[in-house]
Structures are given as C-alpha cells and as structure tokens.
Amino acid sequence: MLKTRVIPCLTIKDLRLVKSIQFKEHRNIGSYIAAVRVFNARDVDEMIVLDLDAAKTGIKPWLLEELTKECFMPLTIGGGIKTLQDIRTLLKLGADKVSINTAALERPEFISEAAEKFGNQCIVISIDAKKVNDHYEVFKNGGMIGVGRKPEEWAKEAEKLGAGEILITSIDEDGRMNGYDLDLVKSVTRAVKIPVIACGGAGNLDDFVKVVKEAEASAVAAGSIFQYTQTTPLNIKEYLAKFGVETRV
C-alpha cells in the first residue's frame, strides 16, 4: 500500500508568496524562496507550486530555476501550462510533475498527448470545484468560470485520458481552515483508481486524519496551516501515525 504523502502547496502572485480565501483576497505572506528553504530543511515529501499569474503572462522558466536551486524534493509546478513545449520546458528545468487545469478542460486530448509524450506519472490534473445549489461543479480560469461538469465525472475522464494523479481543491473551503470538504474529496477518490491529492481547508491535525480515513485521499496538500500556525509536516505525519496511517518519515 502506498504511503500517504504530506505536501505543502505554495501559491505565487505578483512574484510574492500569497494565500487566498475561496480563491479571492490574496494575502501577501512573504518570500516564496524563503518558504521553499524552510520546507526543504524539513524534508517534506513533495511540494506543489502554483503560479497564479502564468495564465496571463505565460510560464516563467527563470522562476523554476530559482525554485529548483533551493528545492531538493519532488516538485510539481502548475499555472499557465498550455502546450507540450511548456511541459517540456518545466521538466527540463527540474520539475518532476506538472499540474494542468484550464488547458485540459478546454482541450481534453491535451492530457493524452502529454501522457504519451512524457509519461502519465508526471501529469497531474488539477480540479477546482465548489458547491452550486445542491451539487459540485468544476471551475476553470482560477475558479472564475464554471464549466457545468461534475468533479467525479471529469476526474474519471482525465484518468481514462492518461492522467497519473488528481489534485482536487475545494474553492469553498480554500483558506478557511475549517477542514477539507470530505464529500467532495470522497466523490473523486471513489470515481478513480489513480492517486488523489486533497487540498483546501486544512486547519488542524484532525482534518488530515479525516480526509485520509473517511474520504480516502492518497495525499494531503495544505497551505494556510503551515503559514499561520506552528504545525509542521512532521507533526502531521506523527499524528496520522497514531491513527494507523503510514507516511514517509
């Protein structure tokens, strides 16, 4: 059985490390390089870095070069990835995986092309979703535009097209630190066989246990809890272990 991974998720906007609430109100919380150094020293399993400006400005190779100089853990990069050349550039510069969202929704065959060219192990499909009336809906363009699709259906299609992993983020819970949306995560984990990373809402140690034990997440990603509390990835791993969840220590 695969061990549960604990993954810090960093978001960059205007070349600063930021943290949002429900994909809005982006608060400047400092230097992304300083944050990478801290997590690198703490031997985290992986790191996800999302460039929120890249959809408009394009990917920034120099940004990845800065990150990889300081980052000695598996690194997933997302934001503004639209072409195979974008993926090739990021992998060549040191990314281990790429996270694709809007481009995959707008042209699903992009997933198959990317998986065939680079291997499905490095293709992460990012799904941003929130409650609309009585159901969950997938959103693109940084959570601004609903596409009328259910997260579990899109996840299943992405898996079929060659995605190696799903990153499911709750827009409703993003930055609120009230816990993961367990129903949302569960709807995706039960629809696919590939690993699912849960993101959005972690505020205390019990939240991680619940999303793994109850919603069956393969990995847990978080941002606010690392920025606004004294909780470390090791604290999370030790707490998960108390409930029989194996992690990489």
List the catalytic residue out of 51, 128, 181, 207.
128
Return the DSSP state at 26: E
User: What is the CATH classification number for the domain harbouring 123?
Assistant: 3.20.20.70
Return the DSSP state at 2: P
Task: Give the percent of the chain with pLDDT over 90.
Answer: 94
**For residue 1, is pLDDT > 70?**
no
Write out pLDDT tens, residues 109-168.
Answer: 999 999 999 999 999 999 999 999 999 999 999 999 999 999 999 999 999 999 999 999
Instruction: Let me know if residue 9 belongs to a domain.
Output: yes
**End-to-end CA, the chain:** 15
- Work out the pLDDT band at 2, boundaries 50, 70, 90: confident
**For residue 27, is pLDDT > 90?**
yes
**CA pair distance 158, 92, nearest whole angstrom:** 24
Instruction: Let me know if residue 247 belongs to a domain.
Output: no
Cα angle 97-118-220, degrees, rounded to a multiple of 5: 25
Write out pLDDT tens, residues 28-65.
Answer: 999 999 999 999 888 788 999 999 999 999 999 999 99
Instruction: Let me know if residue 113 belongs to a domain.
Output: yes
Catalytic residue flag (residue 174): no
Instruction: Let me know if residue 185 belongs to a domain.
Output: yes
Q: Which residues pair with 135 in a beta bridge?
A: 132
Domains identified in the chain, total number = 1
Instruction: Let me know if residue 249 belongs to a domain.
Output: no
**For residue 208, is pLDDT > 80?**
yes
**For residue 196, is pLDDT > 70?**
yes
Q: Treating both helix axes as pointing N-terminal to C-terminal, what angle do 61-70 and 84-92 enclose, rounded to 10 degrees?
A: 30
**CA pair distance 221, 219, nearest whole angstrom:** 7
Instruction: Let me know if residue 76 belongs to a domain.
Output: yes
What are the CB-based long-range contacts (under 8 Å, 24+) for 226-231?
226/8, 226/39, 227/19, 227/29, 227/35, 228/19, 228/177, 231/204, 231/205
Instruction: Let me know if residue 98 belongs to a domain.
Output: yes
Structural domain including 56 reads 5-242
| Per-residue 3-state assignment (H helix, E strand, C coil) for 198-246 | EECCCCCHHHHHHHHHCCCCCEEEECHHHHHCCCCHHHHHHHHHHCCCC
Instruction: Let me know if residue 248 belongs to a domain.
Output: no
